[in-house]
Amino acid sequence: MSIRVAATLGLVELAGSAGATAEQLAAATGTAPSALRRLLEHLVAIGVFDRDAGSGTYRPTELGAQMAEDAPEGIKPLLDINAAGGRAELGFVELLETITTGTSGYVRRYGREFWADLDASPELRRSFDAQMNWRFQVQAAQIAERFDWGRFSELVDVGGGDGMVLAAILQAHPGLHGRVLDLPPTAAAAADRFAAAGLDGRAGAVPGSFFDPLPAGADAYLLSDILHDWDDEHARKILTGCRSAAAPDGTVVVIESAGAAGTAMDLFMLMCFGGRERTVDELAALAAECGLVLRGSGPVADGRTVLEFSPDLGPSMR
Ligand SMILES: C[S@@+](CC[C@H](N)C(=O)[O-])C[C@H]1O[C@@H](n2cnc3c(N)ncnc32)[C@H](O)[C@@H]1O
């Protein structure tokens, strides 16, 4: 919690490489000077800050500098308890309840689901979208290049966030048109991104829920890191929605960690969303229950697998 509070207060950025006294940092953060000094002393004890004995200033160590806003490690949003990621991680204090009941610790702690919480706070929503983009800064281009999107004419990126992945795909495949469907504020951010990238002639953003009927008739529907946010019942609804909307010879493309994310991420998905990480076999079995047949799967980006499904047209039409 000391590290999380330091990240939330921005102590690393405020102290900078020049360092600052406890009083200066307290004034800058609106905190109690004597309490902040004790926090800083603990951060020194655990190697996050150094204290200069002469001037009494505190300066981040190499380790502490990793929690700066612009540090390449990108961990600040997971520590800052006012950002979506850091706020969500605090739901782990409810892990016993989650394990006992199988239900979301996030809902127990904050009184509503993660997505409803983001809807109520534009700042949280923006921090989540930024976190999603940070995690895919390398992968978006890999996804665009390592899968044959060029054979499609229209792609709907279902829950496509603020459009980073779709923009990368469209930039790599000039013949393709696409739309992002996401919750309204994020869809609006996607529209802004497409306009700024000069893609608005080929890319659109549809505000809405993937639990309602999806834009119909496209030849490909993408679900990137969507299914792991949901339990089987909701994941089946999303897959069935894609199956129903897709053209008869359409394709549903699922991109997930498929086992690579590890057990900590699986527990996070359970605690935060009641969701789960699934293997390729588990995803294929879930999709089969929704009338989708697995046509192939393979690595598509660092830590991500692509699975390609087509509607099961029944024995007479196969
Ligand atoms: C884990 S993020 C993945 C974003 C993007 N597909 C990517 O891979 O970067 C999940 C996305 O689902 C969206 N989402 C959550 N509930 C939704 C709903 N009911 N309808 C549409 N989008 C939803 C969120 O806003 C978020 O953008």
Residue ID of nearest Cα to ligand 1 atom 18: 209
- How much distance in Å is there from the Cα of 223 to the middle of ligand 1? 9
Say if ligand 1 is within 6 A of residue 224 CB: yes
The domains of the chain are located at: 2-74, 84-133, 135-311
Residue ID of nearest Cα to ligand 1 atom 20: 209
Atom from ligand 1 closest to the CA of residue 181: 21
Say whether 228 is catalytic: yes
What is d(CA 65, CA 19) in angstroms, rounded to the nearest whole number? 12
The CATH number given to 135-311 is 3.40.50.150
Say if ligand 1 is within 6 A of residue 229 CB: yes
What's the CATH fold of domain 2-74? Arc Repressor Mutant, subunit A (1.10.10)
Low-confidence ranges of the chain (pLDDT < 50): 317-318
Identical fold between 2-74 and 135-311: no
Q: In what order do the strands lie in the sheet with 154-158?
A: 203-207, 177-182, 154-158, 220-224, 251-256, 304-311, 292-301
pLDDT value at residue 73: 84
Q: Name the average pLDDT for the chain.
A: 95
Looking at 42, 173, 177, 228, which residue is catalytic? 228
pLDDT value at residue 318: 45
Q: Six-digit token pair at 285?
A: 């079995």
Q: Six-digit token pair at 112?
A: 């509503």
Residue ID of nearest Cα to ligand 1 atom 1: 225
**Does the domain made of 84-133 have the CATH classification 1.10.287.1350?**
yes
| pLDDT, tens only, 11-30 | 999 999 999 999 999 999 99
Residue ID of nearest Cα to ligand 1 atom 3: 225
